[in-house]
Amino acid sequence: MELSRMEREASKPLNWGKIFYERQLANTKENRQDKFLRHSVRSALEKNASCTGSLDGSVVLNELNDDELCAFFAQYPSCEYFSLRSWTSISNKVLRCISITFAERLIELDLSGSKVSNIHLDLLLVRCTKLEVLKLNHCPEIEVLGMTLVVRLLQRSLRELYLSDCREVRCDALLWIAGAIGPQNLGLRLLQCLDLSYCPIVDKGFVAIPHTCNKLQFLNLQECAELTDESVLAVAKHCRHLQLLNLSGCMHLSDKAASSLGSGCRQLVSLNISRCPKISDKGIRAIATGCVDLQAANLAGLSRLSEEALHYLAHRCPALLMLNVTGCERVSVTGLEHLVKGLHFVEQAVTFMGFKPVDEHVEKKLEGHLLMLERTRQTKTLEQIQREEARLLQETADRELRENSAASLLQAYMHRYKLRMHYYRLWRARVKHEKALMIQRNYRGLLGRHRADRRREELRLFYSLSPFGLCIQKAVRGYLCRCVHTKAAKLIREMYINRRKEAENGLAVKLQAQARRFLAALRVRSWKELVVRRALNSHDAAITMQRLSRMFVAKLRVSRRRQWMRDELEARNNAGLKIKVFLLAKMRLYKSKLTGDALKTFYRHKWGAITKIQQLYRSFKARESVYKMKIGLASMHYAATLIQRCFRGSRILHWRDMRLNVIAAFVLDRQYLERRGAVELSRLRYKKFLEDNQCDSASEPDDDAPMDEVWVKQFDKNKKANFWVNYSTNVITYDEPQLPLAHEMGLIGKRIKVFWVVQGVWYEGQISKYHRRKGRHRVEYDDGDHEWIHLADECDRVQIQLDDGTWAMYVMYQSEAMLEEKRKVLERQEREDFKRQAFIDAQQWKMFTDDRRGDLMFMSTINGELRAGLPNAGDWVVQDDGYGFPCFFNVVTQATVYEDPRFVYDVDEDLAAQRKYVMQEVRYALYFCKDLWEDFEKASSQGDERQLRKAMLAVKNSSKIDHLNSFVIRAKALYQQVSVVDKPLNEAVEAELQYAAWVAARLAEARDRTHSFLLKREDNKREVLRRLQPVGPGSASGEPLVCRLCGRPTKRHLEFCPTCGKRQVFF
């Protein structure tokens, strides 16, 4: 480029002798024209007195020559908005001067009607890094190369582009704007406004623009007669934020294009489809159904349009304020009049057939909205009263229910208490009865024991007197019985025999029963075992059959799956080979077209990718080998530990040896303590020795260091400001006091690097101390040395380490204490400015008396403002309160106030009406914005993602937020105080404005969050689609297929991930 070549020539070494000679020669030639040149430039500068902002250079293009234009434009280095309309004789010298002077600050550039060529654009746009608006209307020489320069130089800043009636802008230029052609061309992605009216464009070039410029809000395609439905379909699909669209004169558009606009561009506010004869009622109905916010529509020349479509459009679009149906043959004047009567805030137009908004339609709409809000508030009040009554009834019923429950509970408790007392009494009676019975038993047992003792005593006495009496009696009685009763003896013998036989028979029966019982138990046990074995055998047989059937089915499925996998693998391999062959051919073609640096860049990227893959594979193999080595070392460590434990267990000593070991351990511990004490004493001596050796002149005690001052922060209710008190010195100040040596003391503990000039090496260390009297810091170097340095004097060879680990020169380093002190200085300066301004505002008023009414009046000596004064305004004088603040002292009542009490703070009717209107608008917008913020906050607190997305989209699409921001700014401007000593704003209004500003700020944050969320969602979708592409060994990308949940490698034919076990989803 020419400018870059000039810069390279300017960087060459200069021949100062030749330059001096040329300057002397030029001075002799220009002496005659100097006066005329300066006079003409001076006159042009007088016409354009502003040196900043916008500059219209069209008025001086035909009056000045090139040198004068350069001198003229050099006086505007801060120009941001520049216009060069209808410049026919363009000079490269002037363009180069403009580019060097203020092109870097340009925001808007207008070259409409000028004979601008591609070279001119190259000279002018090379430095325009901040340009947002570019107007090239009616520039016939702009072609593809010019658009290439615009896209390459302004693709990061340009937002508005106007190319009306540029006949050379065709398909290739549009493809450059869309970024469809050209290496490393991203297109104008930030473009919001595009004007291509009267350009000979076709669908092939225009279709690519909506794909890239999807942020378009204004699009003008007037008289682009070659465009068809395909272009409008692309616009409706991608440009969702489009608000103004002009398709006038596009003859080939049909109902298909209109239907796509209704379904895609739902934010349309203004639409012009005049002179599109193929659009009928069907397309208008689709537009009315989708674009409910439509406010202006131009349908002139639609011969197939009927009155039914117009009525449907007016019904579906309540905000419609302007409609043009000139040339619509099927629309009658009577039908249009009836349509206007049925609408609000519109009237029939005079200059065209249609309707337009009435005067003051905004105020009438506002009255309707206010009436609606009043009715809504009344309805909500009634509903709230009904809810309150229902709540009171419910609370009464709940209270009665609680009382009944409490009474029932008390009754249950009393009944349970009585039952417990009854059973307690029964238990006490039973205990007493049992104790009485126990006493009776004890007494009767005692009596029985006494009788038994007496009986035993009698028997013992009887036996002692006649020891053989009983035996003799028994023998005699038996003999007499046998002699006298022979039958009795026989019967007794038979009885004994029978008893023996019965005992034998009973024993045999008992043995038989036990044997039968044992045999029956054996039979039952064997039968149970047989039944269990039969059940087990049948169960095993069923399980075996199930396993065989499942194994057969599984083998069948596996064989089918393997066959399917083989077929799929074969298909993938074939497809991969075809894709590989195709890509190799394309890559060869692409590499054959590359030359020089581009080819080197391609191979460098290729080798970098190969190196990265090698590094990843080697790191994987290294981690695998290290993991195996760790497992082997852990196994060896575990085995060694186990062997040591076994060995130590076998070496356990006897208790006597253990006792001797304890005694020896005690002796060794005492020796260890003595040795440790001696080592500690020697260490202290060595430390003292090092300190004595390291002492220098700056290590002396800092006795002259000032003591830290203690300041207490308090609040003054009268002045409504903070002040600080030092009780040690009894000093009061309204300026935040500065802490002495805060920056120097804050450096203690910081890491530092010092450059030693002789060695040529940077030595690192740490700051440990600061000597106040000498102003030096002690640096402890890492190698053990130390040094006292005055950092301000040695700032050129000192670096300080920042919190993030980087190093900065001491000259550039700013600590938190230094920033805090600078903040205090700035606040002190602001307070001084405030005091000065307060005194100026308080003393600017000159008092005089109105001759007609006799009232006191005040006039400002600064801006001439008039104010009405109170009757006692002359009693107030301006004084200093002792701390530099102005106060007002009443010489009669001896009262002191800080707000100006001399004026009547009544505003005129116009200002009051403006304030009332603005506050109504603020409240109206705040009503809707508050609901939006509450929904958003509720969804955020509950964590409901669906409601949160819904609330975020509502915040993004709402227009009430912009309404609230604009009127809050107007309200703050209307309620702004003229003087700093005037009476402050009403607290209720101030609180309301602060709340409105807070809600607007929160909704702005919500909008930013919504924008970030939408961008992140789009990026996530692209990333998921990229990662979930069905790739394989023969795919184009070559990347492995991974699970979208755990990120581990998987295979596409698997229904569940083999790592995490969750279901896989592929697109």
CB 694 within 8 A of CB 786: yes
Residue 768 pLDDT > 70:
yes
- What contacts 866, CB < 8 A, 6 or more positions away? 857, 858, 859, 860
pLDDT, greater one: 257 or 89? 257
Residue 661 pLDDT > 60:
no
pLDDT category of residue 765 using cuts at 50, 70 and 90: very high
Residue 2 pLDDT > 70:
no
434 burial type by CB count under 10 A (0-12 exposed, 13-18 middle, 19+ buried): exposed
- In percent, how much of the chain has pLDDT > 70? 82
pTM, to two decimals:
0.38
Kindly give the pairing relationship between strand 296-298 and strand 270-272.
parallel
| Whole-angstrom distance, CA of residue 221 vs CA of residue 267 | 18
pLDDT, greater one: 908 or 894? 894
pLDDT category of residue 506 using cuts at 50, 70 and 90: confident
CB 324 within 8 A of CB 353: yes
37 burial type by CB count under 10 A (0-12 exposed, 13-18 middle, 19+ buried): middle
Q: DSSP strand E in 861-932: where?
A: 866-868, 876-880, 886-890, 896-897
pLDDT value at residue 369: 67
Q: Is the dihedral of CA 405, 408, 414, 419 positive or negative?
A: negative
| Whole-angstrom distance, CA of residue 980 vs CA of residue 842 | 9
- Token readout for 439 is 């006493």
Cα angle for residues 56, 61, 63 (degrees, 5° grid): 120
What are the pLDDT digits (tens) for 297-331? 998 888 888 888 888 888 888 878 888 888 888 88
pLDDT, greater one: 255 or 640? 255
- Token readout for 918 is 């603005």
Cα angle for residues 214, 219, 225 (degrees, 5° grid): 120
| Whole-angstrom distance, CA of residue 563 vs CA of residue 550 | 19
| Whole-angstrom distance, CA of residue 195 vs CA of residue 218 | 8
What are the pLDDT digits (tens) for 141-168? 888 888 888 888 888 888 899 988 888 8
Report, as an integer, the average pLDDT of 82-111: 83
CB 255 within 8 A of CB 302: no
- What percent helix, strand, coil does the chain show, rounded to 5? 60, 10, 30
| Whole-angstrom distance, CA of residue 901 vs CA of residue 907 | 16
Residue 927 pLDDT > 60:
yes
Residue 424 pLDDT > 60:
yes
Q: Find the range with the poorest average confidence among 99-108, 185-194, 551-560, 589-598.
A: 589-598
What are the pLDDT digits (tens) for 665-701? 666 666 777 778 888 887 887 777 666 655 554 455 5
pLDDT value at residue 35: 37
pLDDT value at residue 918: 83
Residue 232: other Cβ atoms inside 10 A: 29
| Whole-angstrom distance, CA of residue 1040 vs CA of residue 1030 | 9
Residue 1036 pLDDT > 50:
no
pLDDT category of residue 36 using cuts at 50, 70 and 90: very low
111 burial type by CB count under 10 A (0-12 exposed, 13-18 middle, 19+ buried): buried
CA nearest to 776, candidates 707, 698, 705: 698
Cα Rg for the chain, rounded, in angstroms? 53
- Token readout for 626 is 């290290």
pLDDT category of residue 1033 using cuts at 50, 70 and 90: very low
548 burial type by CB count under 10 A (0-12 exposed, 13-18 middle, 19+ buried): exposed
CB 94 within 8 A of CB 68: no
Most confident region among 74-78, 754-758, 1021-1025, 1056-1060 by mean pLDDT:
754-758
Residue 704 pLDDT > 60:
no
Residue 488 pLDDT > 60:
yes
Cα angle for residues 190, 196, 199 (degrees, 5° grid): 145
pLDDT value at residue 747: 84
Most confident region among 85-89, 562-566, 859-863, 1027-1031 by mean pLDDT:
562-566
CB 744 within 8 A of CB 758: no
pLDDT category of residue 703 using cuts at 50, 70 and 90: very low
Mean pLDDT of the chain: 78
- Between the alpha carbon of residue 828 and those of residues 298, 604, 839, the distances in Å are 61, 59, 17
Per-position b or e across 887-903, b if 16+ CB within 10 A of its CB: bbeeeeeeeeebebbbb
Beta bridge partners of 859: 846, 866
pLDDT value at residue 15: 52
pLDDT category of residue 193 using cuts at 50, 70 and 90: very high
> What residue type is assigned to position 474 of the chain?
K
What are the pLDDT digits (tens) for 577-628? 888 788 778 777 777 776 667 777 777 777 778 878 877 777 777 888 888 8
pLDDT value at residue 38: 46
CB 868 within 8 A of CB 857: yes
Residue 208 pLDDT > 50:
yes
- Between the alpha carbon of residue 451 and those of residues 437, 440, 446, 464, the distances in Å are 21, 16, 9, 20
Helices 66-73, 92-102: axis angle to 10 degrees equals: 10
pLDDT value at residue 194: 92
Residue 54 pLDDT > 80:
no
pLDDT value at residue 293: 84
| Whole-angstrom distance, CA of residue 726 vs CA of residue 871 | 43
- Token readout for 856 is 């006191």
The conformational region for residue 878 under phi > 0 = left, psi -120 to 50 = alpha, else beta, is beta
pLDDT value at residue 195: 92
Per-position b or e across 185-206, b if 16+ CB within 10 A of its CB: bebbeebbbbbbbbbebbbebb
Q: Give phi and psi for 751, each to the nearest 5.
A: -80, 140
Residue 184 pLDDT > 80:
no
What are the pLDDT digits (tens) for 557-579? 888 888 988 888 888 888 888 88
What are the pLDDT digits (tens) for 385-417? 888 888 899 998 888 888 888 888 888 888 888
